[in-house]
Structure formats: structure tokens, C-alpha cells
Amino acid sequence: MTTLTIRRPDDWHLHLRDGAMLQAVLPETARHFARAIIMPNLVPPVVTLDDAVAYRDRILAALPQGMTFEPLMTLYLTEGTDPTDVERAAASGLVKAVKLYPAGATTNSHSGVRDLTKVMAVLETMARIGLPLCTHGEVTDPEVDIFDREAVFIDTVLAPLRRRLPELRIVMEHITTEEGVAYAADGGENLAATITTHHMIINRNHILAGGIKPHYYCLPVAKREKHRLALRKAATSGSPRYFLGTDSAPHVDALKEHACGCAGCFTATNTLSLLAHVFEEEGALDRLEGFTSLHGPAFYRLPVNTATVALEKRAEPCVWPDKIVSGAGPVTVFQPGFPVHWHVLT
Ligand code: DOR
Ligand code: ZN
């Protein structure tokens, strides 16, 4: 097969930031994607419905003329979040999920949740109205090895929460382990998981062997090879439990190439080509559309996109810019380290 037309994809986990960075990265996503779930970890975070409405307006204002894109907003869960505001946010139709960051787990997570019992009233409201909770599924206990933090989160936080509130609809975001794959597989209708493009391409050796590669560092950090293979198998399985959330997370190079570098891989520019490459390698090109364009809307109870996007496999490999230029500084585009021949026709 050398051409492929699929329904226009959606990105169910995306960081757009704000200001000059937003301006630079938004077209990279809007070029190929119809909608995206927008992460709320700005400084200060997007906590209330009013915050989300204002942020959505800034995103739409930054959209270049002639492009269409629908930001699906999320609220950042804090221990002070008001359940009635969450209910109003869902009713507005603009807010599609609430994001749980365990405090200290990742970039701009310090306003996140330390004690889940303090947000139970919010979670009960969400369970009642069917509003999904997106989880950054890592424990923050410094005693727990960083490569084990996802599996420990599943056992000690997620499983007890789901036993207590089985009606709560949960998205395990950016799963990186075979434990995550297995837990999502058995979770029933109220559970799904997103998988990033880069976690299907790199393992921890790519980050650390032969010199440290800061542009491959993200959170949850890529794990050993068997986990990468489990993620590829899950994504290409055709199961509706798994769908694309790129977690494309721009940081300026100065903060990535740093003694204490930021977490995040910027994949918006080339995600679709990379996915076609991965799905072809797995003999599953016919399942790409499910992963990018069908399973996500089904879980979020939204219509699928009617527009399409076409890809063509050409002899010459794709060439992407090394960097996106932003008013905040350059942002390095994720490079897979192998040639990719699936060009997106725009
Ligand atoms: O790598 C990451 N980058 N993981 C996250 O959870 C946050 C994100 C960011 O905001 O940069
Ligand atoms: Zn993220």
C-alpha cells in the first residue's frame, strides 16, 4: 500500500502552552489534527471554567487564518477545585475532562493533588455526570524508582480509586508499561488509555546509551524495550481501549539542553508520518484510523470527524525542520533516528 486516506485525526493529549510558544506550535498540530484535548498545566494552571474559557479564546485567536481546529478544554484538578464549577464547566460543552496531576509528578504539577480524599467530592460529581478524569499516572514518592512509578500508581492509586468509584470514567494518559497496557485492557467501558508516538519509537537506551539525549526525555520516562513492544502491540491491536495522545510538549532548547532539563518531546510536526511508519512495521496500517480518529471520539462520546487526511509513501524520506522557531526560542522537533517515507498530503 502506498496511499492511505483516513478520517482526520484528533490528539487526545496535547500541550499548547501560551503566548509566543502557543503561536508557534498551534499550526504544527492544526495542520493535521481536527481537535485536541488541551492540557491545563500552564503557570498559573487552568483551574476554573472561566480560566478554560479564557485559554480557549487565546488558542482560537492564535490560530492562523484558513486553519480550523477545535480545542477541547480540560481543568487542572486542585485540592480547592469546586465541584459545582466542574459541573458548570461540563454543562458548557467546552470542557471535556479534568486532569489529575499528582503534586510534583511533572512539569507545572505543584498545584496538583497530594491527598485524593480532598478531591472526592469533585470525583463523585464527575462520576455522576460522566465527565472523564485524565490521569498522569505516576506516584511521586521519592522512594519509588522512576521506572516503577507508573506500575506503583496503578496498584496504589488507580485500582483503589476505581474500586471506590467504578462509574468514574478514566483515561490513563501516556501509558509506558506493559502493566499499563494490561490494566487498561481489563478495565471495561469506563477505562481507556492514550499512547504517545514517541513511546512507541524509543526505549530508555535511546535516552541514555551513547550520551544523554535531552530531547528524548519526557515523563513518564521511556522504559525498557519489552514495554515499548507492549505499547506497539496495544496501539495496533484495534482495541478501542487505546487511542492517540501525543503528549507533544514543547520546551525551548535552552531548557531541554540544561543541567536540569525539562521533560517533554515535541512531536506535533511529524506524529502522523511516524505513526504510519510504526503501524506499517506492525502490519497494521488498516488499524491506524481506529487509533488516531475513531477510538478517542467513541470514549469521549463525540462525533468522529468527517474531513479526511491522506498519506503517501514515497521513495524519498520525509524531511522535517530540526527546530520550530518560536518567539520564546527554538524548539527541537522529535527526530526518530530512522528514515520515514509516509508523507502527509496537505
Ligand atoms: O514530558 C512531559 N512533559 N510530561 C508531562 O507530564 C508534562 C509535559 C510538559 O508539560 O512539558
Ligand atoms: Zn502531558
Q: Which pLDDT tens digit goes with each residue over 54-87?
A: 999 999 999 999 999 999 999 999 999 999 999 9
Average pLDDT over residues 319-340: 98
Q: What is the DSSP letter of 219?
A: S
Residues 41, 112: Cα–Cα separation, whole Å: 9
- What spacing in Å lies between the alpha carbon of 133 and ligand 1's midpoint? 17
Q: Is 218 in the pocket of ligand 1 (CB under 6 A)?
A: yes
pTM as predicted: 0.98
Q: Is the pLDDT at 346 greater than 90, yes or no?
A: no
Partners of 199 in the beta sheet? none
CA nearest 293: which of 34, 15, 115?
Answer: 34
Cβ of 106 closer than 6 Å to ligand 1, yes or no, is yes
Question: 275: which 3 cell numbers?
Answer: 505513526
Tell me phi and psi for residue 241, to 5 degrees: -70, -20
Q: Using pLDDT thresholds of 50, 70 and 90, give the confidence band for residue 245.
A: very high
Q: Angle, nearest 10°, between helix axes 225-235 and 178-185?
A: 30
- CB within 8 Å of 188: residues ≥ 6 apart: none
- Which residue segments constitute the domains of the chain, with CATH numbers given? 3-345 (3.20.20.140)
* pLDDT tens, residue by residue, 172-220: 999 999 999 999 999 999 999 999 999 999 999 999 999 999 999 999 9
Please write the tens of the pLDDT for every residue from 22-33.
Answer: 999 999 999 999
Neighbours of ion ligand 2 (CB under 5 A): 247
Ligand 1 neighbour 99 (Cβ under 6 A): no
Active-site residue, from 18, 155, 247, 253: 247
- What's the average model confidence in pLDDT over 268-286? 98
Dist. CA 275–CA 281, nearest whole Å: 10
Concerning whether 85 is annotated as a catalytic residue, the answer is no
